[in-house]
């Protein structure tokens, strides 16, 4: 093979690899964005009544999600709570809450994953997807088969 055509082939190969890689990143990025958009819509329907659209909650009754110090430390528990509810006394930003959060068995694992991605991206400082596979695993620890 001539040196010139070898270099040509090599360049061609490099271009293909680079464009494949960026197509992958774009697909991941698109999936993340879609999760956030769908998660926001689901949050409005299923969560905002109590926690409010702005995530600030309702004084004394419903804890805030925005700025919550409970969020980062209790991700698995929160994922389970969306499905199964939560009847506990919890402390969020130094305040105690003891109203029950109702179960929502309508929510599929994908719904929970999208809502989780939305709330953790918006108020939890995470800029990453919480994938449906991860959520399925966590839901299995609290009752899912």
Question: For 73, which DSSP code?
Answer: G
Q: Which is nearer to ligand HEC, 32 or 90 (CB)?
A: 90
Q: How far apart are CA 81 and CA 115, in angstroms?
A: 12
Residue nearer to ligand HEC on the CB measure, 92 or 132: 92
Burial 43-81 (b: 16+ CB within 10 A, else e): beebbeeebeeebbbeeeebbbbeebebbeebbeebbbb
Binding ligand HEC (rule: CB under 6 A), the pick from 36, 80, 109, 115 is 115
Binding mask 48-77 for ligand HEC (x = CB under 6 A): -xxx----------xxxx--x-xx------
Binding status of residue 98 toward ligand HEC by CB under 6 A: yes
Q: Does the footprint of ligand HEC cover residue 103 (CB under 6 A)? A: no
Range list of H helices, the chain: 3-46, 48-51, 75-84, 109-122, 132-140
Residues engaged in binding ligand HEC (CB under 6 A): 46-47, 49-51, 62-65, 68, 70-71, 78, 81-82, 86-90, 92, 97-99, 101-102, 104, 115, 119
């Amino acid at each position: 093979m001539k040196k010139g055509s070898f270099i040509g082939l090599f360049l061609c190969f490099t271009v293909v690899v680079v464009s494949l890689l960026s197509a992958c990143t774009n697909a991941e990025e698109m999936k993340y964005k879609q999760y956030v958009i769908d998660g926001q819509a689901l949050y409005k329907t299923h969560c905002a009544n109590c926690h409010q659209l702005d995530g600030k909650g309702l004084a004394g009754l419903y804890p805030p999600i925005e700025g919550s110090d409970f969020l980062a430390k209790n991700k698995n528990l929160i994922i389970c709570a969306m499905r199964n509810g939560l009847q506990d006394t919890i402390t969020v930003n130094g305040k105690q809450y003891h109203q029950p959060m109702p179960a929502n068995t309508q929510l599929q694992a994908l719904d929970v994953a999208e809502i989780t991605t939305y709330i953790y991206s918006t108020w939890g400082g995470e800029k990453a997807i919480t994938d449906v596979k991860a959520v399925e695993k966590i839901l299995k620890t609290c009752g899912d088969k």
